[in-house]
Amino acid sequence: MKNINLLILDDKEENIISLSALLSDIENINIICSTNPNEALKLCWKNDIALALVDVQMPEINGFEFVSLLKSNPKTSHIMAVMVTAISKEDKYLIKGLQSGAVDYLYKPLNPEITIAKVTSFIKQIHIQEEIIQKNIELEESKKALIKANQEAEQARKSKEIFLANMSHEIRTPINGIKGIVHMLKNAYLSLEQLDWINRLEIASSSLLLIINDILDISKIDSGMMKIEMEDFHFTNLLLDLEQMFKIKASDKNLEFDVVLDPKLPTHVHFDSLRLEQIISNFVSNSLKFTEKGKITLTVESLEKKDEIHRIRFSVSDTGIGIKPDSVDKIFLAFEQGDDGITKKFGGTGLGLAIVKRLAELLDGEVHAKSIYGQGSEFSFIVDIKEVKDKVKIKRETNLPYSQFPKLNPINVLVAEDNELNSFMLAHMLQTWNCKVTVVKNGRLALEALEKDNFDLILMDTHMPVMSGFEAIREIRGNIDPTRRQTPIITISASVLEHEQQAAFQVGADEVIGKPFEPTELYQKIIKIYGSGKVNNLPF
């Protein structure tokens, strides 16, 4: 414990000697004495005095004045002052002392026990106060450190987000080009052998896209940016579509694929269909990957029903390689695989199940895995799903090649895109649908083109040199000839990050498409813009 400096101020030397002697047994104090108030003030400034015992009756400056001087100076105002007096115990003196800033009185002749008890208790108080001050300083420091760590974490999160946005743009742009050319080639006259090559190319580019999507998904979930989007949809149709899709994939590997549906299941539900599909697909894809012979079964059952809420269990079982017991728990962690040999033999990033687990949590559901090594595994997802009674319009995607989509009435489209492969592919797609197409390479050239010609629609890439898509849209919506300001704009962005897509709407885009996109998506957005009355032209 730190020693405390105690000042005794009394004009009579003998009083100082007797009081010092009285206090000499108290531990952890240094006694500093003075007979002169002026000298005592200087001592208080220079030394770290915590407690002052001040005689009241002194010539020149009396005790009350001395304590007032102490209290009025910020350097000494913290000092605890105790008046030592021989004058009466009348209230008016007491009050005067307390008003000057003293905390207590000691009366002469001093009672040794009371004096020691009071001084000891003040010293204890001072120690406690010092501890509180020290704790406050530490608290303030840790608050500052916490704020700094928070700022650093926020900065790191932002850098990660920017890195992801850039990376997703850089990787998605070429994949978009590859997928587009694949679409174009599928519309060309090809021999069966060439068609087979193109199919392989399509599979390879799709799996590349799956990997980049997985990386983006996990980062989006971790940074709290993954949104759950609830909608009404035809539940049984979704399950049957999955059955159709995976039956083909299973038969390619000579595997059986069965879907067992509980008759108690609702036909229409309100849930996030995209994420549900992602979870089931992930389980089934893994089973397909890790099963060489036998059977894969998707079972969907309603465990219980309360009002319109069904507790539904989706389970996928297989007769594959199984998982070692000590690995079952860790496979839901990011980048973890069953055992080290898996990567070599089957590839994969170890992200799929980590995404599934996080998605399940976002959906308030739970995932489980059971496995017998060498015999097979069962993965399940249990969640509450709300049944809807109203019939829902079933969303169906067409499998037609884009060259066979119904022709549009001729519209004049401006495409602003710096990537040649993408603009070439977009132009081809639009021309197939009957559109007249002008291609420019940046926002500045788009503005110039708009001055020369009337366009019905603008497709605007967001990241372009010289002038970005966002800058160009701002110019179009604010500054060009008023008759052309309202030209519908669809932005095409390789970024899948929500805030970037929102930013596109904020600057004035009518629709946003992420790269790579399916031709139907662009086609449907064009039809939607027609439907909005912004284009004086019927679609067909």
Beta bridge partners of residue 492, listed in sequence order = 461, 513
Contact assessment for residue 52 and residue 81, using Cβ atoms and an 8 Å cutoff = yes
CB of 357 to ligand ADP, least distance (A): 9
Q: How many residues does the chain have?
A: 540
Closer of 132 and 372 to ligand ADP (Cβ): 372
CA distance 519 to 426: 9
Query: Which has the closest alpha carbon to 383: 400, 362, 397, 355?
Result: 362
C-alpha angle 187/190/195, rounded to 5°? Answer: 90
CA distance 161 to 1: 51
CB of 207 to ligand ADP, least distance (A): 11
Sign of the C-alpha dihedral computed for residues 473, 474, 480 and 485 taken in this order:
positive
Phi–psi pair at 433, nearest 5 degrees: -90, 10
Closer of 319 and 487 to ligand ADP (Cβ): 319
CB of 239 to ligand ADP, least distance (A): 19
Contact assessment for residue 335 and residue 255, using Cβ atoms and an 8 Å cutoff = no
Q: Which helix (H) or strand (E) holds 370?
A: strand 366-372
CB of 317 to ligand ADP, least distance (A): 9
Residue 123 CA neighbour count, 13 Å, CB half:
21
Name the pairing type of β-strands 376-387 and 436-440: unpaired
Closer of 290 and 470 to ligand ADP (Cβ): 290
Contact assessment for residue 237 and residue 269, using Cβ atoms and an 8 Å cutoff = no
Structure letter (DSSP) for residue 105: E
Closer of 349 and 524 to ligand ADP (Cβ): 349
CA–chain centroid gap for 53, Å, is 60
Closest residue by beta carbon to ligand ADP: 338
Hunting for tokens 């990050």 — which residue is that?
Answer: 497
CA distance 533 to 235: 33
CB of 355 to ligand ADP, least distance (A): 8
DSSP per-residue codes, 72-127: HSTTTTT-EEEEEE-S---HHHHHHHHHHT--EEEESSPPHHHHHHHHHHHHHHHH
CA distance 487 to 433: 20
Closer of 318 and 418 to ligand ADP (Cβ): 318
Closer of 44 and 280 to ligand ADP (Cβ): 280
CA distance 160 to 126: 50
- For 91, other C-beta atoms within 10 Å of its C-beta total 8
Closer of 379 and 402 to ligand ADP (Cβ): 379
CB of 378 to ligand ADP, least distance (A): 8
The residues, ordered by sequence, that sit 6+ positions from 170 with a Cβ below 8 Å of its Cβ are 494
CB of 440 to ligand ADP, least distance (A): 41
Name the pairing type of β-strands 366-372 and 376-387: antiparallel
Contact positions vs ligand ADP (CB under 6 A): 286-287, 290, 318, 320-323, 331, 337-338, 342, 348-354, 377
Closer of 317 and 468 to ligand ADP (Cβ): 317
Closer of 337 and 495 to ligand ADP (Cβ): 337
CB of 278 to ligand ADP, least distance (A): 12
Closer of 338 and 469 to ligand ADP (Cβ): 338
CB of 243 to ligand ADP, least distance (A): 18
Closer of 282 and 419 to ligand ADP (Cβ): 282
CB of 223 to ligand ADP, least distance (A): 20
The residues, ordered by sequence, that sit 6+ positions from 517 with a Cβ below 8 Å of its Cβ are 176, 492
Closer of 223 and 285 to ligand ADP (Cβ): 285
CB of 277 to ligand ADP, least distance (A): 16
Helix, strand or coil, per DSSP, at residue 127: helix
CB of 163 to ligand ADP, least distance (A): 22
CB of 345 to ligand ADP, least distance (A): 10
Query: Which has the closest alpha carbon to 107: 124, 99, 97?
Result: 97
Closer of 205 and 337 to ligand ADP (Cβ): 337
CA distance 143 to 264: 56
Peptide bond into 488 cis (omega under 30): no
Phi–psi pair at 133, nearest 5 degrees: -60, -45
